[in-house]
Structure 1
Amino acid sequence: MKIGIIGAGKVGATIATLLESCRFCRAVVLGDARSDVEVSGLKKARTVTLNVKEAAELAALVKKCDAVVSAAPYFLNKTIAQACAERGVSYFDLTEDVHTTNFVRALAKDAKATFMPQCGLAPGAINIVGGDLASSLDNVRQCEMRVGALPLFASNQMKYYLSWSTAGLINEYCQLGEALHGGKRITTLPLDGVERLTVDGVEYEAFNTSGGVATMCETFEGKVGELNYKTMRYPGHRDLMRFMLQDLNLADRQELLTQIFDQEVPLTDHDVVVFYVSVVGTVKGRLVQRSFVKKMRGAVVQRRTLSAIQLTTAAGVVAILELFAGGKLGAGFVKQESVPLKAFLATKWGGRVYGA
């Protein structure tokens, strides 16, 4: 299978790195606006200079691939998905943006190809785990999903350094989210619903952000009492973000805030991903709690040093590509929670990163 990856930044290049060792993948083409993308050591990968906004350039890449993964900024995904739909090529992305997902879903109606947005970490793997645990109970009172992509250490007031897309980070802090309350779908306010939790003796705060719940509210409406997703940070981060986004009204100037973050907030490769899912419900009339909790670090793969957020995000989508290559995904729009956890963990990179 030949796989196209659009966007050769940290995550896009990591996807290509993981695909290097996958038998189902025979070739990778990385499309990026930059002409100096470095892929040395990756025998399956080659690069092409690509302007996504140039329809002819995008079409030329898409039509040569069996599947396309968008690792580009979320605001380019609609254009990429449209190009795939017009040529009957299967499409995958990493977006947390709800509007983009709804657009992809409309494109996928009656399609013979597979359209599966929201692959990756959260949304992505978190929904596969959450959906599987919730489905394992007869009746579910509560399903909590929490993910934190965090620096191992930080000395600034935000207690945070950048480790992934700044535009995506700001977007999920600004957009409305979704949850189930009393079994019914509700809208959640960003940066609201603050709580504290402790994992391995470290205290975190968690608060509402958009996108991480993916399509689970639709799937489990009327079946789960309380279902929600929250982002984890070190205590104090949320208050500073609320000051900037709401008190200073920068939520209406996301591009400006993104520029400020990119200029003044350091990037780090020394990070950790904290992954937490807890469900409570009944099995044969008995109240039980089941959980899936991991702390995941970076690793060296194909002689490339990968951060925790790079590895966990790329592993999520590469696992999905392996299932796609094996004919285990259907046509049209595919939800993350439709993937059995056992199948996900049986894949090469799903098992290696998220398994025991």
Structure 2
Amino acid sequence: MTAFSTRHAITILGAGHIGFAMALLLQQAGDYDILVADRDPARLAEVAALGVATRLVGDDTSLQAAIDGRFAVLNALPFHRAVPVATLCASAGVHYFDLTEDVASTQAIRALAANARSVLMPQCGLAPGFIGIVGNDLARRFDTLHTLRMRVGALPRYPQGALRYNLTWSTEGLINEYCNPCEAIVDGVRTTVPALEGLETFALDGVEYEAFNTSGGLGTLTETLAGKARQVDYQSIRYPGHNAILKLLLNDLRLRDRRDLLKDILESAIPTTDQDVIVIFATAAGQRGGRLVQESYSARIVGTELAGHRLSAIQLTTAAGICTALDLVAQGRLPQRGFVGQEAVRLADFLANRFGVAYAGEGTQALEKIA
């Protein structure tokens, strides 16, 4: 158990699936005074049933009131709200954490952080987030790093249909990943590569997968490893056949130019599920001690039940990531002001954290003892 000398007052913005999971984890920990703010009364009612304080926010004035005087804000709102909320937090001197996969938003928040009195730490989820911590840990094991390849998938456990996919998180974020340029290091040079390209197939534990370029998963890792690696890339994992259908939709039918329509199509045709699994696979190769060696990291994470509430795998991993970042800042184990990238977090510290332990394959037992 981690106890603080004083209870930190924090605000969670957004009472959707991920915001609810964050509130549940932090409420069970018992070290934070939690306020959850949203514009949807029905969602707030579900959070209030946990015994957590809630507030209805509908404009910038009420949003500012939910931020002022808090120790930290955890932003679970859509990606386009990241920069406005981070701006308010920086002005108020409040620590800021979010889950955005949007590269432009992260760059804007980094610029905001130059003179900030508080921590601004975006991309604290699964990918970007945890996978960057894993990648940096693997990279540090080599005298000379040649390649670092990171693969993550949030997948249905029981896939159906031609796409073999279910919606498990933000549809807007998913479309961003499929459409926006993807950061990478190629032949030692930082660059961008097209989304949906670089298709590869592989098997883990007897299950066949495909993987292809998607945007945002690397966070700031290409900056950290610039000049230190020949090849660094990130790809999303899906079941075979997904990539070909996406190319039909986005390229042949040109739905990449009509993202609102694509969002409506996906949300009306693809069911959501909480019967999901997170697949993580990262591998690095390079020189160590005069020899060419390879190191790998893999994990398979399913959902769990906590305090009578079922958390899907994507809820669990995403919420655990941002709650771990909050914990480490509150403990003074990360910088206390300015921009903080995921690479500042040691993998061992993350996995030893009361929230981060969910990634170590000990989810249910560890989290049940969270308080």
* TM-score in same-fold range (> 0.5): yes
Question: Shift of residue 41 of structure 1?
Answer: 5.3
| In 2, Cα distance between equivalents of 1:337 and 1:239 | 33
Aligned to 1:324: 329
Aligned to 1:18: 25
2:130 partner SS: helix
TM-score (structure 2 length as normaliser): 0.93
Aligned to 1:190: 195
Question: Shift of residue 46 of structure 1?
Answer: 1.5
Question: Shift of residue 42 of structure 1?
Answer: 2.6
| In 2, Cα distance between equivalents of 1:183 and 1:302 | 48
| In 2, Cα distance between equivalents of 1:112 and 1:281 | 39
Question: Shift of residue 284 of structure 1?
Answer: 1.0
2:28 partner SS: coil
1:58 partner SS: helix
| Alignment match of 2:47 (pick from 19, 39, 44) | 39
| In 1, Cα distance between equivalents of 2:132 and 2:95 | 21
Aligned to 1:134: 139
| In 2, Cα distance between equivalents of 1:354 and 1:261 | 32
Amino acid at match of 1:81: A
Aligned to 1:101: 106
1:30 aligns with 2:40: no
Aligned to 1:308: 313
Aligned to 1:336: 342
- What is the aligned-residue identity percentage? 45
Q: Is 1:345–1:355's contact at 8 Å kept on the other side of the alignment?
A: no
Aligned to 2:368: none
| In 2, Cα distance between equivalents of 1:306 and 1:64 | 30
Aligned to 1:257: 262
Q: Is 1:127–1:337's contact at 8 Å kept on the other side of the alignment?
A: yes
Task: Map residues 1-356 of structure 1 onto 2, 5 A cutoff.
Answer: 1-23=8-30, 25-37=31-43, 38-39=46-47, 42-43=50-51, 45-51=52-58, 54-330=59-335, 331-354=337-360
Q: Is 1:18–1:349's contact at 8 Å kept on the other side of the alignment?
A: yes
Q: Is 1:67–1:91's contact at 8 Å kept on the other side of the alignment?
A: yes
Aligned to 2:5: none
2:334 partner SS: coil
2:109 partner SS: helix
Kindly provide the CA deviation profile for residues 328-355 of structure 1, in whole angstroms up to 9, marking residues without a partner as x: 2211001101211111112101123336
Question: Shift of residue 21 of structure 1?
Answer: 2.5
| In 2, Cα distance between equivalents of 1:249 and 1:355 | 41
Say if 1:89 and 1:98 are closer, same or farther in 2 by CA, change over 3 A. Answer: same
Kindly provide the CA deviation profile for residues 39-82 of structure 1, in whole angstroms up to 9, marking residues without a partner as x: 25533x2111112xx22111100004210011011111111111
Deviating above 4 A after TM superposition, structure 1's stretches of 4 or more consecutive aligned residues are none
Amino acid at match of 1:229: Y
1:21 partner SS: helix
Kindly provide the CA deviation profile for residues 250-294 of structure 1, in whole angstroms up to 9, marking residues without a partner as x: 111111111121122101111100011111112111221111101
1:109 partner SS: helix
Question: Shift of residue 224 of structure 1?
Answer: 1.1
Q: Is 1:171–1:254's contact at 8 Å kept on the other side of the alignment?
A: no
Kindly provide the CA deviation profile for residues 307-334 of structure 1, in whole angstroms up to 9, marking residues without a partner as x: 0111011111111111011012211001
Q: Is 2:299–2:361's contact at 8 Å kept on the other side of the alignment?
A: no
| In 1, Cα distance between equivalents of 2:115 and 2:47 | 37
| In 2, Cα distance between equivalents of 1:146 and 1:299 | 23
| In 2, Cα distance between equivalents of 1:121 and 1:41 | 27
Question: Shift of residue 154 of structure 1?
Answer: 2.0
Aligned residues: 352
Runs of 5+ in structure 1 lacking a partner? none
| In 1, Cα distance between equivalents of 2:353 and 2:166 | 31
2:243 partner SS: helix
Say if 1:187 and 1:89 are closer, same or farther in 2 by CA, change over 3 A. Answer: same
Amino acid at match of 1:191: L
TM-score (structure 1 length as normaliser): 0.96
